[in-house]
Chains A and B, each alone.
Chain A
Amino acid sequence: MKIRYFLGITFLLFQVLLIIYARFVPERFFCWAPYDQHTQMEVEVVINNKKLTKKEIQERYHYRSIGWEKRSINNVFDIIKQYESTYGLNDNAKVVVKYSINGQKQQIWTLK
């Protein structure tokens, strides 16, 4: 019983560490942070001078290409960066994300 309790406490402490870790990184996964930002976003992807459609972008990242992002917009950047540095490494995609956090002024993020 003590071992089980120890495992449970360890699991919970790990979550606490993830919450603390989230303070030092821009992404907000596994830290119980839904709906602390609400971002209107639009993703544009150009490969070999061809602009991908919304459906193609959705199929590429398995994520919506336009609409409201209910978590940190950095989660979206992270997904795009990881895809383009792994599966899409040879595509040399040019990715631009236009976004507005909580109704603030629009900003533009470009994949480097």
Chain B
Amino acid sequence: MDFKVITSSPFFPLGFVNTSMRPNVLLMCKLVFLLLVFHGFYAIINDPYIPFISYLDKFNDFPNVYKNTLRTLFFTSGIFMLFNFKVRYMSFVLGLTIAFVLLASKPNFANHYFICACILILASLIDKKQTPWLLFMQISILYFGAAINKMLQVDWWNGQFMHNWLANARETHVYIYMSDLLPEMWLAKLLSWVAMLVEISIAVLVLFKKKHRLVTWMILLFHTFLYTLTAFRFGHFYEDILIILLIFINHIPGIIRVSFNKLKEPFVTKLFSFLNFNDTFSFENRVLKNNKWLEVEIKNTTVSNWDALRLFLLYNTNFYIFLFLLDLLIRYLFNGFLMNFIHISLIWITILFFLPLLLKKRKGQLI
């Protein structure tokens, strides 16, 4: 079987280029749908029960109609979107479906579902040629709301919330140990003030395109630090926000040239060519000088070796799908402490690997 016939089809799920959405935005939408599926969102789609809109209670006169309609819409729109069929329409329907699931049940409301609905709806309104400003503004509103709600609570200023959460609710040993070494409530206050400062900073900075690289790293480090400290992902909010960070990847028009050193990596080109579903890259095997093993050329800018690998992975949709599936695999293979330890370790290794992209001077619009 010629796999190229399948992978070059416009309906191939791992193809992101030939649709009406930006590739990174479409990847975000697909991963959000898969995240909801794997986290059992299907199970909470039910008939209205203590709804936000009391009118929805009328559907209880017709049992299972509301439930089955939304379940059908959820899966149909999600699967069609996975297979690149009318992606913006499907994203809108999927987002609206999630919204109606939440509106139908106050007990089921959760911010990690609400953000999924919002970004799917907004993603559907963004043209392929547009910068996703609606999504940037969504992030701003999210962190603005979070910061405002905290800043208006005395218990956030005096550290009471943080201490109660980390010491009593989560029983975070690292926090308890360090807190005992420092003056009373000092650490709690510091963590509280830093959290509020980071959130309001993100809310403001995300509105400036030149600050997007900084904002990406602030969000990534802030939430990863929280996860590391508490071993808690806030439902699947941590995964949601990491997936949303895909919107900050700059769109690169044209082909990215990837050159492997023929002498060192003779067979790698074939593998990566096979996985090049989006024709984003052109791969070649040639002799590279000065001990280079990899070279990447983007818009007349050439980087080599580890920098090249970072950029290659950054603009490779397969890399993010791999991370997503790896995360799921770890979740299903392990439990408790071991699962969190492996997750957190791998996340920090990945962060440290890509950290030079933050520290290096910007190379045009590449990073």
Listed stretches B66-74, B153-161, B250-258; interface member: B153-161
CB–CB B145/A32 < 8 A: yes
Residue A102 is within 8 A (CB to CB) of chain B in the complex:
yes
- Kindly provide the distance from the CB of B248 to the nearest chain A CB, expressed in whole angstroms: 18
Which of B111, B153, B168 gathers the greatest number of chain A CB atoms within 10 Å?
A: B111
Please give, as numbers and ranges, the residues of chain A lying within 8 Å of B41 by CB-CB distance.
none
* A63 touches which of B54, B107, B125, B149 (Cβ 8 Å): B107
Listed stretches A15-23, A43-51, A90-98; interface member: A15-23
Nearest chain B residue, comparing its CB with the CB of A32: B145
CB–CB B125/A12 < 8 A: no
Residue A34 is within 8 A (CB to CB) of chain B in the complex:
yes
CB–CB B105/A22 < 8 A: no
Once A33-B145, A86-B57 are accepted as A-B contacts, the answer to whether A103 and B160 lie under 8 Å apart by CB is yes
Residue B36 is within 8 A (CB to CB) of chain A in the complex:
no
For chain B residues 135-169, which have a beta carbon within 8 Å of chain A?
A: 137-138, 141-146, 148-150, 152-153, 155-156, 160-161, 163-165, 168-169
What sequence of 0s and 1s flags, for each residue 1-33 of chain A, a beta carbon within 8 Å of any chain B beta carbon?
A: 100110111011001100100110000111111
CB–CB B145/A102 < 8 A: no
Please give, as numbers and ranges, the residues of chain B lying within 8 Å of A8 by CB-CB distance.
122, 125-126, 134
Please give, as numbers and ranges, the residues of chain A lying within 8 Å of B109 by CB-CB distance.
29-30, 75
Please give, as numbers and ranges, the residues of chain B lying within 8 Å of A38 by CB-CB distance.
161, 164-165, 169
Bound Cα distance from A29 to B82, whole angstroms: 30
- Kindly provide the distance from the CB of B195 to the nearest chain A CB, expressed in whole angstroms: 9
Residue B50 is within 8 A (CB to CB) of chain A in the complex:
yes
* B118 touches which of A15, A34, A75, A82 (Cβ 8 Å): A15
What sequence of 0s and 1s flags, for each residue 159-194 of chain B, a beta carbon within 8 Å of any chain A beta carbon?
A: 011011100110000000000000000000000000
Bound Cα distance from A54 to B189, whole angstroms: 36
* A37 touches which of B49, B118, B121, B153 (Cβ 8 Å): B153
Q: Name 7 A/B residue pairs within 8 A (Cβ), A-sorted.
A: A8-B126, A12-B122, A32-B143, A32-B149, A36-B149, A38-B165, A101-B155
